[in-house]
Amino acid sequence: MIDNADQVLRTLGGEANQANRPSPAEATAETELSDSERHHAAGLMRVNHTGEVCAQALYQGQALTARLPDVREEMEQAAAEEIDHLVWCEERLNQLGSHTSRLNPIWYGLSFAMGAAAGIAGDRWSLGFVAATEDRVCRHLEDHLERLPEDDHRSRRIIEQMLEDERRHGETALEAGGEEFPEPVKRAMAGIARVMTDTSYRV
């Protein structure tokens, strides 16, 4: 319980986590952006940061309710890798002179509940939930690559690496025995994701 409470505070507290890998943006020079471009890039990176907050909550909820030790370890390992993304996005938001979403505590709580419910439903469904979630995340990241200001190369490098990692997480979940989710469930997940992205972009 103490470990889980610590992880909640680290995820929501900001600047408490440390990445295991350097940010992909480190080797890329900063470019001049207009105020509107900077505002738009910050909105997109805020959405990505909130997505990583949700990922931490999902994996934490699933790890608590997973029945098989190997599945629990899979969830914990994925969460550890997602911390890199969380830190990179927050660093980029600071560089853009912006902030993380003020609604993150709400999204964390909802995501934790969904992750725990998926774990209770069974490990196959829990892994399938990971695969379906990562598929949705990849679609958002691909969309963000198209919508980013052309000269924001630093944000682009971060999103490209995140996209590579998220694809691998989804593939690993299916290979580990994850159940493919039916289309109605995927559409419902897409609807929830749309609300999250719309609000996080602005708040």
pLDDT at residue 16 in the model:
57
CA–CA gap between residue 39 and residue 56 (Å, rounded): 26
CA–CA gap between residue 127 and residue 203 (Å, rounded): 31
118-121: long-range pairs with CB below 8 Å, 24+: 118/58, 118/61, 118/62, 118/65, 119/61, 119/62, 119/63, 119/64, 119/65, 119/66, 119/67, 120/65
- Six-digit token string for 179: 């159940």
**pLDDT tens, per residue, the chain with 203 residues:** 677 676 666 677 765 578 888 999 998 999 999 999 999 999 999 999 999 888 888 878 877 776 666 666 766 676 677 889 999 999 999 999 999 999 999 998 988 888 888 778 777 887 888 888 888 899 999 999 999 999 999 999 999 999 999 998 888 878 777 777 777 777 787 888 889 889 999 98
Kind and range of the H or E run holding 9: helix 2-13
CATH architecture designation of domain 34-202: Up-down Bundle (1.20)
- Count of other CB atoms within 10 angstroms of residue 182: 10
Alpha helices in 66-147 (DSSP H): 69-95, 104-121, 123-147
Measure Cα distances from 81 to 86, 151, 172, 198 in Å. Answer: 9, 28, 13, 26
pLDDT at residue 189 in the model:
76
| Dihedral sign of CA atoms 31, 35, 36, 41 in order | positive
Domain range summary for the chain, segments of one domain joined by +:
34-202
- Could you give the maximum distance between any two Cα atoms of the chain, in Å? 51
pLDDT at residue 67 in the model:
65
- Count of other CB atoms within 10 angstroms of residue 73: 12
